[in-house]
Every structure is written in C-alpha cells, then in structure tokens.
Amino acid sequence: MAFGISVTIMFVILHLMPGDYITLYLEGIYVIAPPEVVLAYNQAYGLDRPLIDQYFSYFLGVLQGDWGYSLSYSRPVLDVISEKLVWTLVILLPATILSIIAGIAIGAYSGWRRGSKADVTLLNGMIFLRAIPSYWLALMILLVFAFYLDLFPLGGYVSLSALDTGIDLLDVMNHAALPIFTLFFFSVTGTYYLMRNSMLMTAGEDYIVTARAKGLDDMTILRQHALKNAMLPMVTRVALQCAGMLTGSIFVETIFSWPGIGMLTFEALQVRDLPLLQGILLMDTLIVIVANIGADMIYPFVDPRVEVGSDARA
C-alpha cells in the first residue's frame, strides 16, 4: 500500500521537474536538434505516449520486477542500482554500525551521569558537531586529511594500480575510510541525543530506585537495569537511521567521488535520467519500509510487553 502510493507520488513529482533527458542529450550533439530526431528518440523510449499510459505501464512493470531502462546507462535500472548499492553499503554499513554503537554507548553514559563534567562536555561537543553543515564538514575532512595531511586518497574507490592487480580489500578500505568517518559524524549526534534523552527518562524510573535499594552498584544498575529499557526507543530510531543514511550518503559520495547510490542519484538528476531516478527513490522507499517492518519484528524479542500473535492474556 505504502509502496504503491510512493510509486505514484514519485512519478508525479519527477515528471514535474523541468528539462528532460532527450533534450539535454541531444543538446550535446546538435546545436539545434532536428525535430525528427527528437521524435525518433521519444518513440524509441515510449516517451511520446500520454503520461497516464506511461504511469500505468511503469506501475505494472515495477510490480513485476521491471523497473525500467536507464536512459544514460542504457541498461536495466535494477541492474545499475544493485551494482551501485553494493558500493554504498561498503561505506554505509560500517558507518551506521559504528555510529549506533558509539551513539548508544556515550549517550547512555552521558544520560546516566547527567550534569557531570563528562556529560556537559559530551553534550556541548555533540551540539557543536550537529551545528556544522554536513557538506562543509565533508569538504573540510577531505581538505585536511586527504589534501594537506595526505593520509588518505582524495576520492574514488580503488587506486589506479587496481587495473593491474585487481580490487584489493585494503585499498578499498583506505579509500572508504574518509567517507565512513564523515558519515559516522553525520549520524552519531542524532543517536547520541536520543539515547541520552531516553536514558534521562529511564534514570528517573521507580525500578531504578528499586535496583539501588537492592544494594547494586551504579554501573551494574546501568548495565542490568537501565540500558535495556533505555534502548527500547532506539530500535525504531536505528531502523529509520539505516534508511535515512542512504539519502545522507548523496553528499558524501558526491564529495568523495564514491561510486555508490548517492553519486548515482546526483548523476541521474543532472542528466534528468527519470527512470533511473525513479528506481533509486523507489529503492529508498523499499528500504525504509523493510527497515520499519524489521523494527516491528524485533520489538517482541527486546520488549516482553509486546507480544505478536498471542492472545492477550495479561
């Protein structure tokens, strides 16, 4: 349902965009494109048919796994996307996992030790980090670590030597380090805020007093009693973050010339490759939906109060 609505909205919005691929493409070849050439191209891609026809054939195609044909790559959209998605995941997965772990750990500590020096320092640092525009931070990281310090390559995903030796994991990780680092900083602040807040709420709960009254020490209470409760709201957040970072990677991939979905989006947008753009946005939607379903399916395992499918006995 949500998927069908997204397909429709995306189709409408993208077709409202000025400019089209054929015009832009032919501009590169002719000074003034002959009308018969334009017509021939439009016929070849079915772009002369009424929009409503295009919409229905696209919708049916999507449901059958045919996401259309990329104009600029001259290949099926799904092929192009799945190829680039792998590269996006190479930087996205480590960045997401690291930011979640770090965000939860320092957020939990910060919230548990509310008002302490460590908490105040962390909180102010995070606010500062959050306030930096992401593209500026990415450019600065690139400038300092790749250009001035020359610690990492300026861009791309493999060195030129890969032409002779093939793709080498270490070489890829060397190229991926800065994008991962940048993405990590984009997302760690959000996780930190939410975790700190969640921990503040949990620290004031009666069962925490119960745990203290038992004679447990502070760190044991944090680990055994507070952490699990405070992490419950994080499940949804983490799921959404996984999906949200896909969009966030557009900046990072463009700036670091990383050949993933983000850069593909940028390219497709520049040349008005609508089928490809639709496919990318559809993939984003799909990931959001899957992540949400995933979060809902995880809940019964982490929160005993959520019981799926069982009759409510309580």
Partner 1 sequence: MGDALLCVRGLKVGFPTVDGVVKASNAVDLTIQAGETLALLGETGSGKTVLGMAILRLLQPNTRIEGEILYRGRDLLSLPQEEMQKIRGREIAVVLQNSGTSLNPVLRVGDQIAEAITLHRGLKGAEAEAAAVELLERVRIADPARMAREYPHRFSGGMRERALIALALACSPSFLIADEPTRGLDAVTKHEILALFSEINRGRSVLFITHDIEAAATLATRVAVMYAGEIVEIGPVDAVLSSPAHPYTRGLLESLPARGMRPIPGSAPSLIAPPSGCRFFPRCPCSVGRCETEHPGLVPVGPGHCARCMLYD
Interaction site with partner 1 (CB under 8 A): 205-207, 209-217, 224-225, 228-229, 232, 302-305, 313-314
Q: Where are the alpha helices (DSSP H) in the chain?
A: 2-16, 21-27, 35-44, 51-63, 77-112, 117-131, 134-141, 162-165, 169-203, 206-214, 218-221, 227-255, 261-270, 274-302
Closer residue to partner 1 (CB): 116 or 124:
116
Burial of 154 (0-12, 13-18, 19+ CB in 10 A): middle
State how far the Cα of 303 lies from the Cα of 87, in Å rounded to an integer: 34
In angstroms, give the least distance from the CB of 159 to partner 1: 49
Closer residue to partner 1 (CB): 75 or 228:
228
Closer residue to partner 1 (CB): 164 or 217:
217
Token pair of 183, please? 């993405």
In angstroms, give the least distance from the CB of 115 to partner 1: 8
Q: What DSSP character marks residue 69? A: B
In angstroms, give the least distance from the CB of 150 to partner 1: 49
Closer residue to partner 1 (CB): 68 or 111:
111
Closer residue to partner 1 (CB): 36 or 217:
217
State how far the Cα of 258 lies from the Cα of 36, in Å rounded to an integer: 39
Closer residue to partner 1 (CB): 232 or 240:
232
∠ CA 84-90-95, nearest 5°, is 125
Closer residue to partner 1 (CB): 169 or 312:
312
Closest to 107 in 3D by CA, of 211, 209, 227 = 227
Q: Which residue has the tokens 């745990």?
A: 211
In angstroms, give the least distance from the CB of 213 to partner 1: 5
Pair 132, 189: CB distance under 8 Å: no
In angstroms, give the least distance from the CB of 263 to partner 1: 42
In angstroms, give the least distance from the CB of 117 to partner 1: 14
Q: Which residue has the tokens 């463009």?
A: 254
Closer residue to partner 1 (CB): 1 or 314:
314
In angstroms, give the least distance from the CB of 207 to partner 1: 4
State how far the Cα of 238 lies from the Cα of 292, in Å rounded to an integer: 10
Closest to 247 in 3D by CA, of 294, 274, 286, 284 = 284
In angstroms, give the least distance from the CB of 202 to partner 1: 10
Q: What interhelical angle do 51-63 and 2-16 show, nearest 10?
A: 140
